[in-house]
Amino acid sequence: MFSLIFGITIGLALSIDAFMLSLVFGSTFKRKLESIFTSFIVGFFHFFMPILGYYLTTLVFTKINLTYYLESKLNFIAFLILIILGIMMIIKKEDGEVFNKRNLFNKLLFAFSVSVDSFLTGIALKTMQNINIIFVAIIFAFVSCTLTFIGLSIGKKTAEKLLHLRLDFYAGIIMIILAIITLFL
């Protein structure tokens, strides 16, 4: 029961960034299939990352002692990922293909960027008793997949209403601004 309550609560908190960025990222999507596919990728990352953090904690943070080095670099890593996403959205061409390599890379990069906090949560969960990490990770995946899909759908619908605007460009600019903000958080 503790894992369920904890999973839902933390899952919602971890998925807020995915939802907010999905509002922007979804404005560049042309088909509903893209939203579904991207939501599942985000859900997968939110499942995999806490488990990875949970089981790598002992190795990386106690035996190798990289804690201070990695903590100081996390904001910069988030900055780089968001900058790359923003630039790729600005230079995006209207190619109509949903699953070409570049679009797949964008979706994977997006999913990774909103799932890094799940990795850190997995590290924190290692210190707690009575936590079933697999169950919690499944809840994280479900919540993040659902919220991402909602955010992408809202972003796509907003873009459809404003078709005359070049929303890819504006979405890219917003991603770059968010990247710069992450440096100061």
Angle at which helices 101-125 and 32-56 pack, to 10 degrees? Answer: 40
Contact 52, 119 (CB under 8 A): yes
Taking only the tens place, the pLDDT of each residue in 8-40 is 887 787 777 788 778 777 777 777 888 898 899
Taking only the tens place, the pLDDT of each residue in 44-88 is 999 999 999 888 876 766 666 655 666 666 667 667 766 776 676
Taking only the tens place, the pLDDT of each residue in 99-152 is 455 578 888 888 888 887 788 788 777 777 778 889 989 999 999 999 999 988
pLDDT at 29: 76
Mean pLDDT, range 156-172, rounded to an integer: 66
SS3 164: coil
Q: How far is CA 148 from the centre of its chain?
A: 9
Mean pLDDT, range 153-173, rounded to an integer: 69
Q: How far is CA 125 from the centre of its chain?
A: 19
